[in-house]
């Protein structure tokens, strides 16, 4: 081979090596940064239990417990909902869960109008006047009928007694939280 052909070939090899390095070097650096060092990218941690896949709730009409005779049209649609399912006897655990829902919603500050609080009652409810004073703005819906039973079937039964559920604006059951734990996790996930 003569000298100009050898120089051209060397230049072409350098160009090829430069292009290969341009594309492969970032991959090699990323691989060693991720697997070869103790540093890890920050992860997003949900504090509640993610319900996968999200369960679409049936669009049912439920009567309110506060004496309203008219059925409530699609109560879990159009806004984020914090839902507590109870059997009607609102004992200390129930009141604690309702208090956590109220305080979490209030802590959202300017975004609190985007979240509604719903108490689904599957039996004869507790003193409505007491809840009306303690829990202003709480929707108490009667889920004792057949439409309510269809809705309650979608909520997971194990641990339902102490759980708060998050329903998205499309009516999908997404997450559950233990109402006995620190409510800051629920607040962080809602933000």
Is the predicted pLDDT of residue 66 greater than 60, yes or no? no
Co-location of 72 and 156 in the same domain: yes
Mean pLDDT of 75-80: 82
| Distance of alpha carbon 118 from alpha carbon 146, whole angstroms | 19
Co-location of 33 and 62 in the same domain: no
Mean pLDDT of 97-111: 83
Say if strands 80-86 and 115-121 run parallel, antiparallel, or are unpaired.
parallel
Co-location of 73 and 24 in the same domain: no
Co-location of 61 and 154 in the same domain: yes
- The per-residue pLDDT for 1 is 58
CATH of the domain at 119: 3.40.30.10
Co-location of 106 and 30 in the same domain: no
Co-location of 32 and 82 in the same domain: no
Co-location of 130 and 39 in the same domain: no
Co-location of 32 and 69 in the same domain: no
Co-location of 75 and 168 in the same domain: yes
| Distance of alpha carbon 77 from alpha carbon 142, whole angstroms | 17
DSSP secondary structure letter of residue 64: B
Q: What is the pLDDT of residues 145-163, one digit of tens each?
A: 787 778 888 877 766 677 8
Check if the beta carbon of residue 92 is closer than 8 Å to that of residue 127: no
Query: Within 10 A of 154 (CB to CB), how many other CB atoms are there?
Result: 16
Co-location of 33 and 61 in the same domain: no
Co-location of 11 and 55 in the same domain: no
- The per-residue pLDDT for 182 is 76
- The per-residue pLDDT for 65 is 61
Domains held by the chain: number:
2
Q: State the residue range of the domain holding 121.
A: 49-190
List alpha helices for the chain, DSSP H: 3-35, 92-107, 128-134, 146-152, 184-190
Co-location of 99 and 17 in the same domain: no
């Amino acid at each position: 081979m003569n000298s100009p052909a050898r120089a051209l070939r060397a230049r072409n090899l350098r160009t090829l090596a430069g292009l290969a390095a341009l594309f492969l070097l970032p991959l090699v650096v990323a691989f060693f940064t991720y697997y070869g060092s103790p540093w890890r990218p920050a992860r997003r941690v949900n504090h509640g239990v993610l319900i996968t896949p999200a369960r679409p709730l049936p669009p049912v009409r439920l009567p309110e417990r506060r004496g309203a005779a008219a059925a409530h049209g699609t109560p879990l649609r159009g806004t984020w909902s914090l839902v507590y399912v109870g059997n009607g006897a609102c004992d200390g655990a129930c009141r604690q869960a309702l208090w956590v829902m109220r305080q979490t919603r209030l802590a959202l500050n300017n975004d609190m109008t985007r979240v509604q609080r719903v108490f689904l009652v599957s039996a004869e409810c507790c003193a409505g006047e007491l809840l009306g004073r303690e829990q202003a703005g709480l929707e108490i819906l009667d889920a004792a009928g057949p439409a309510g039973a269809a809705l309650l079937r979608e909520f997971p039964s194990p641990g339902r007694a102490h759980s708060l559920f998050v329903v998205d604006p499309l009516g999908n059951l997404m997450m559950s939280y233990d109402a006995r734990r620190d409510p800051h996790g629920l607040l962080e996930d809602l933000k």
